[in-house]
Amino acid sequence: MKRPIILTLLVSLLISILYSSCSKNQGEEPQPQDENNQVTASNVSYENFVGSLIQNKCSACHASGGEGASQWTFSGYTSVKDNGTRIHNAVLVTGIMPKVGSLSSNEKVLLKAWFDRNMPEK
């Protein structure tokens, strides 16, 4: 009788760990560093917005060893730019990412503007 209870507890623990690693609350919406450098659709870049957005919303699953690393691994600007088409489609076209949670309307507008600007780093 003890074996099914232990197995149930282990399965419950594993599910809890997996769920918490990709939680909906993955971070605050990235904000400009100061009010004088407001990020807009005309100046959005990886450095002033997209990098922190990806870090906060995607890296929990798409970092090395994460649940989504087999599809794509976040490792900085080059990895994002090289996979820009896939990221654009998954986030903005089909909306299947982020898998858990969502982007705010402002985050989507700025991310789309970044893609439209040909994904500038700075």
**According to the model, what pLDDT value does residue 11 have?**
56
Whether the predicted model's global pTM rises above the 0.85 cut? no
| pLDDT tens per residue across span 87-118 | 999 999 999 999 878 899 999 999 999 999 99
CA distances to 27, 78, 91, 122 from 46, rounded to whole Å, are 17, 10, 16, 6
Residue 105 DSSP one-character state? H
The 3-class secondary structure across 61-76, one letter per residue, is HHCCCCCCCCCCCCCC
| Structural tokens at position 26 | 């993955």
| Structural tokens at position 4 | 């099914």
For 85, list phi and psi in degrees, rounded to 5. -65, -45
Beta carbons within 8 Å of 53's beta carbon, 6+ residues apart: 29, 30, 103, 107, 110, 111
- Cα distance between the two ends of the chain: 62
Tell me the C-alpha distance between 99 and 118, whole Å: 25
| pLDDT tens per residue across span 24-44 | 445 555 554 445 679 999 999
